[in-house]
Chain A
């Protein structure tokens, strides 16, 4: 029965395919391999989501070793949803990756991109699926190390500094997580998530557990680029190859947010993490600062990729606000925004990939007049931007709707107004690009529209932005179920 082993295959297939890429080395073949593996992962993730939604959570004992001692893979609606996001983003972006990466990375190193990509995918899927906190750390390192590699393969020499910066920050984060896990193990004697959840309440009052919690929160927040721990993100996103940025924007931070959810609500209880440790207040304040300050910073960027990177930090702020509300609606808003933001940011970065492909630049001034020369690319950018703003009939609107609703449920008027006000800042930074692209006349270079293989994935995501904005009943029911499950005890 192969279906019984799906949770393991989800991680093992990309893990095995990664070294194969190094062996093959030939650019096109490695791309095909990565593409195939990624789509298989996507199919597995979808199957898992459907199974967990209808049959409830499933548990898989790795190597047949029973749970507390062996490593358990625990799949429920929450992480199956994230698995689908990560593998889906990877699959769609990979289609366009070949052309884009061959343009931006030296031909001798392209196979390294796919190796790193598959390892990163393995890591991210592993973090998401595992039910063991030490295993989380292991996969986190796999994902992190490979993403340093991916960033460093960017077209510009500045990619190296960006990767180094990311490495330093990422290592601090990972170390913090390891210390946190260690402290928890010291007090409870277990690494299994379900086990931890049972034993922690007994020792929750000790300083050690609290310190462990603090280390974990800081470490994961750093990975998730929660304001003000986002320092690594703008450079990494700006200088990585376009396809890698699109992949990371749609997956890496999302997985870390998922991890926060898991630790906050399942391993520690909602009462402990949000009420006792007052993280509800801390996250709320940080989130509100993030959505304003980072959107403002985005407005003043001259590099469009960096602008979107800052916008991503702001968007993480919306998710954090949703979590901090600790109600079903709030969590639903946060979780659904995880999905929606993956869709919109990924589409936007892919559109930028098309622009880089033709113009070799994402500086705002070089985009003058590009709206006429690359109509399809810019149309995609505009729709993606509208989704980011939260215009109705796009996914961004669904996120805004739930976040405002969650704020109103708690009678927090000021928050509702702040959420909508900050989304108006997005109008400003998106429209700077629109005005430059359509109203300024650029050099008379004979730039053509990007090739189809770049345009099609971009538009697939744009259509998804509209589709899931017009019929969000399914995404909402998944997100609500996930939120309910997180709020109930493990």
Chain B
């Protein structure tokens, strides 16, 4: 298969899957088989693309306006994101089957259809060759995840959906669109170019403003004060929270931030003008504040959501340190945090299916009834904190190195303090699960592990967290590739 064909397929295949899923409405087994098959084939196609990452093969799908095209290409950062998202889609599909059936959720077909469309949009974001393409798929991703967020159709879901759509659309149309038109106006195109496209094209005095428009405009990166959509999105079924709101959607945000920093502004240009300084502090504030808020949340998914906000802040902060080490760290963090956080969400969902409990304070002693789930949760937490024997160590390592290289000691301190806060709000959950005693109540039912499909999925991702510790080298080399082209 040619690279162009493979590129196009990454976007089209999930769409085709969506159509087939819609057609097999009344036959759940066939429907789920199609989902899984699509996910596996998509992953294989993305893997095949990995071999071609050095080339800059571009596929133009359409040209809406002169000098403005919908195009896809292969680039290390995008391939990494595509690999992570498509790989985790397989595992999430397995998990969904257990979760959706175990919970007897309504409208399962609609759920799988929009899930597939969201993946298609994610692939488009990951492989976009210019900012305009990224923006188009970014908006499709917002819209296609809306029916998933509001899946339950309750008043709460509707409210959550309003915040979700309201914040994401208003930031992207209100800021990102203006920033994009501005860039197009001064640079004449929006192609992702090594070294940036803005050098000598714009008065450096305007640079902080433009950068701010981008960073706040990419609402999916959840930079405070535009982070509220992420906790609001937690009304969605857990597989959605796991894959979309810990991996695809939020990573699309920070991915866009990294792309814009590296390929639109250019690291040297930003470094020389110092436009990044105040936004670096905004990211630092997000990292710390979100961690503190996470500490106060008793609802497990809400705590995980704020943890995600904080971890996304790491990557934005990495981008704003504007050196290659920090960018490498940020890129690796996309992958390691994805694995860690999806594990935690899987665990939260498994606990919900097994016990219908959502609050951490009610989960004392559950670890002894659900050992696999809680072990996975422990591993996931360790990875997010960044402790050895998990992949999370490496991304934090390089992020910290980036802070040192930039001689931003305050930022180094932010990384350290936040890691301590992570320990406080994440590790406490498995500790309470294993060591606290179960409250005495009149319940007679014996709590068991969640359905096999769900447990299998969360075990796989937990193992992935550990594997990343030992096999971080290829990941690192892939990221360094960004700067060697």
Contacts and interface: CB of A to CB of B under 8 A. Distances in A.
Q: Counting chain A CB atoms within 10 Å of each CB, which of B62, B65, B70 scores highest?
A: B65
Interface string A400-411: 110011001100
Contacts of B166: 427
Interface of B: 62-66, 70, 132, 135-136, 139-140, 143, 150, 153, 158, 162, 165-166, 169-170, 173-174, 177-178, 181-182, 184-185
Nearest to B66: A473
A400 B177 contact: yes
A400 B135 CA distance: 14
A235 B70 CA distance: 42
Contacts of A409: 185
A405 B184 contact: yes
Given A392-B136, A424-B169, 10 more contacts: A398-B65, A400-B177, A405-B181, A408-B185, A420-B173, A421-B174, A439-B150, A472-B65, A476-B65, A476-B66
Interface in A382-432: 386, 389-393, 398, 400-401, 404-405, 408-409, 416-417, 420-421, 423-424, 427, 431
A420 B63 contact: no
Given A420-B177, A424-B173, A470-B70, A393 B63 contact: no
A424 B139 contact: no
- Interface size class for chain A? 20 to 34
Among B63, B70, B153, B169, the most chain A Cβ lie within 10 Å of the Cβ of: B169
Nearest to A416: B178
A404 B143 contact: no
A473 B63 contact: yes
A417 B185 CA distance: 15
A417 B170 CA distance: 11
Given A424-B169, A470-B64, A473-B66, A431 B136 contact: no
A476 B67 CA distance: 12
B165 A427 contact: yes
B79 to A, nearest CB: 24
Contacts of A476: 65-66
A420 B170 CA distance: 9
A424 B64 contact: no
Contacts of B150: 439
Contacts of A469: 64
A334 to B, nearest CB: 16
Given A386-B143, A393-B140, A471 B63 contact: yes
8 contacts: A400-B177, A404-B178, A420-B173, A420-B178, A427-B169, A471-B62, A472-B64, A476-B66
A153 to B, nearest CB: 38
Interface in A317-356: none
A291 B141 CA distance: 28
B134 to A, nearest CB: 10
A417 B66 contact: no
> Chain A's interface: helix, strand, loop or mixed, by majority?
helix
A435 B155 CA distance: 10
Nearest to A470: B62
A405 B185 contact: yes
B139 A392 contact: yes
Contacts of A391: 139, 143
Interface string A157-181: 0000000000000000000000000
B158 A435 contact: yes
A462 to B, nearest CB: 15
B174 A417 contact: yes
Given A439-B158, A470-B70, A408 B64 contact: no
A424 B170 contact: yes
Interface of A: 386, 389-393, 398, 400-401, 404-405, 408-409, 416-417, 420-421, 423-424, 427, 431, 435, 438-439, 469-473, 476
Contact of A427 (B63, B170, B182): B170
A408 to B, nearest CB: 5
Given A392-B139, A470-B64, A408 B174 contact: no
B333 to A, nearest CB: 28
Given A392-B139, A424-B170, A431-B162, A398 B64 contact: yes
A389 B166 CA distance: 12
A386 B140 CA distance: 11
Contacts of B65: 398, 401, 472-473, 476
A386 B169 CA distance: 11
Contacts of A390: 173
Given A431-B162, A476-B65, A417 B178 contact: yes
Contacts of A404: 177-178, 181
B158 A392 contact: no
Nearest to B176: A420
Contacts of A400: 173, 177
Contacts of A392: 132, 135-136, 139
A421 B172 CA distance: 11
**Top 10 nearest A-B pairs by Cβ distance?**
A392-B136, A404-B181, A470-B62, A472-B64, A408-B185, A424-B170, A405-B181, A439-B158, A420-B174, A392-B139
A408 B173 contact: no
A417 B178 CA distance: 7
A398 B158 CA distance: 30
Contacts of B139: 391-393
B356 to A, nearest CB: 24
Nearest to A382: B143
A59 B230 CA distance: 61
Nearest to A391: B139
Contacts of A405: 181, 184-185
Nearest to B177: A420
A471 B294 CA distance: 45
Contacts of A470: 62, 64, 70
Nearest to A423: B173
Contacts of B158: 435, 439
A476 B66 CA distance: 9
B63 A408 contact: no
A410 to B, nearest CB: 11
A409 B186 CA distance: 9
A327 to B, nearest CB: 12
Contacts of B182: 408
A470 B185 CA distance: 20
Contacts of B63: 471, 473
Nearest to B158: A439
A439 B149 CA distance: 13
A358 B31 CA distance: 33
A45 to B, nearest CB: 24
A390 B143 CA distance: 13
A161 to B, nearest CB: 37
Contacts of A417: 174, 178
Nearest to B166: A427
B223 to A, nearest CB: 19
B67 to A, nearest CB: 10
Nearest to B209: A413
Q: Which of B165, B170, B181 has the most CB of A within 10 A?
A: B181
A79 B177 CA distance: 31
Nearest to B132: A392
A195 B63 CA distance: 41
Nearest to A413: B178
Nearest to B181: A404
Nearest to B178: A416
A484 to B, nearest CB: 15
A405 B184 CA distance: 9
A405 B181 CA distance: 6
